[in-house]
């Protein structure tokens, strides 16, 4: 089964979901992409709410706030010592290199932008791609744990496949368009969160069940 077929099935099932990531402020998306590492979105939302309530919305404000206070505000997202340091480092980088102006960074082409983000400490491929797709709003597909689980259960890839190979496999045949990449990622998140769960997937409810190796085994 090809990705475009999965996309169409999921879109028919869930409807047009658009971009699932809240995107009022591009810097908030960067904060969210860092906080969501090894965490759930519910816990990230609490941390983002705390930052919002304190008016911490720009790289300058992250840089100014005392480290201990920042840790406290983002505690709900887990690994808060490490994440607070990462937020400080990336804010300092954006200030020294771009005077805190994200547009200057995002003016770069997708390839250069990805390379630059990946050179920053604590930013791996998933975080970099989330920033490019949802903050810079350029068509770069994001692979997350949901996506990997769904594709491997469908029997399309080995569960040990690495990030870049899985991404190549997924995007083949999908139009390279921002709205489609955002929506397909959003649809996979919906499926992974609500139906193709890590434990006890609800295969009987799944729109992909007739095409899924794992689902067929589960249901005899």
Cα–Cα nearest to 10, from 189, 201, 204, 139: 189
Question: In the range 191-220, which residues lie near ligand SF4 by CB under 6 A?
Answer: 195-196, 201, 203, 206, 208-209, 212, 214-215
Please select the residue that binds ligand SF4; options are 95, 154, 157, 178, rule is CB under 6 A: 154
Q: How far apart are CA 6 and CA 54, in angstroms?
A: 42
Site string for ligand SF4, 121-140 (x = CB under 6 A): --------------------
Total residues binding ligand SF4 (CB under 6 A)? 13
Cβ at position 20, least distance to ligand SF4 in Å:
18
Does 148 bind ligand SF4 (CB under 6 A)? Our answer is: no
Cβ at position 169, least distance to ligand SF4 in Å:
16
Does 10 bind ligand SF4 (CB under 6 A)? Our answer is: no
Cβ at position 128, least distance to ligand SF4 in Å:
27
Task: For the beta carbon of residue 42, count every other beta carbon within 10 angstroms.
Answer: 9
Contact indicator for 131, 86 with CB cutoff of 8 Å = no
Question: In the range 167-196, which residues lie near ligand SF4 by CB under 6 A?
Answer: 195-196
Could you please report the per-residue DSSP string of 153-193? Answer: HTTSS-TT--HHHHHHHHHTTS---HHHHHHHHHHHHHHHH
Contact indicator for 144, 138 with CB cutoff of 8 Å = no
Question: Under DSSP, is residue 200 helix (H, G, I), strand (E, B) or coil?
Answer: coil
Cα–Cα nearest to 202, from 161, 152, 150, 156: 150
Q: How far apart are CA 150 and CA 3, in angstroms?
A: 11
Task: For the beta carbon of residue 12, count every other beta carbon within 10 angstroms.
Answer: 9
Cβ at position 197, least distance to ligand SF4 in Å:
8
The residue among 186 and 201 lying less far from ligand SF4, judged by its C-beta, is: 201
Cβ at position 207, least distance to ligand SF4 in Å:
8
Please select the residue that binds ligand SF4; options are 29, 150, 166, 188, rule is CB under 6 A: 150
Residues that bind ligand SF4 (CB under 6 A): 150, 153-154, 195-196, 201, 203, 206, 208-209, 212, 214-215
């Amino acid at each position: 089964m090809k990705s475009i077929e999965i996309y169409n099935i999921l879109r028919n099932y869930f409807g047009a979901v658009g971009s699932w990531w809240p995107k009022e402020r591009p810097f908030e998306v960067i904060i969210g992409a860092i906080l969501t590492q090894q965490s759930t979105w519910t816990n990230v939302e609490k941390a983002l709410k705390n930052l919002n309530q304190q008016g911490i919305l720009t790289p300058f404000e992250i840089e100014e706030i005392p480290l201990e206070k920042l840790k406290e505000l983002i505690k709900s997202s887990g690994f808060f010592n490490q994440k607070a340091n990462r937020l400080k480092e990336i804010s300092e980088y954006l200030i020294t290199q771009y005077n805190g102006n994200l547009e200057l960074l995002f003016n770069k082409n997708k390839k250069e932008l990805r390379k630059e983000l990946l050179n920053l400490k604590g930013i791996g491929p998933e975080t970099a791609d989330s920033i490019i797709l949802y903050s810079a709003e350029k068509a770069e597909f994001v692979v997350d744990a949901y996506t990997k689980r769904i594709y491997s259960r469908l029997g399309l890839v080995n569960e040990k496949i690495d990030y870049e190979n899985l991404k190549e496999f997924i995007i083949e045949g999908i139009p390279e368009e921002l709205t489609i990449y955002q929506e397909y990622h959003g649809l996979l998140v919906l499926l992974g969160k609500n139906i193709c769960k890590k434990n006890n997937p609800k295969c009987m409810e799944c729109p992909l069940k007739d095409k899924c190796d794992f689902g067929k085994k589960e249901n005899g």
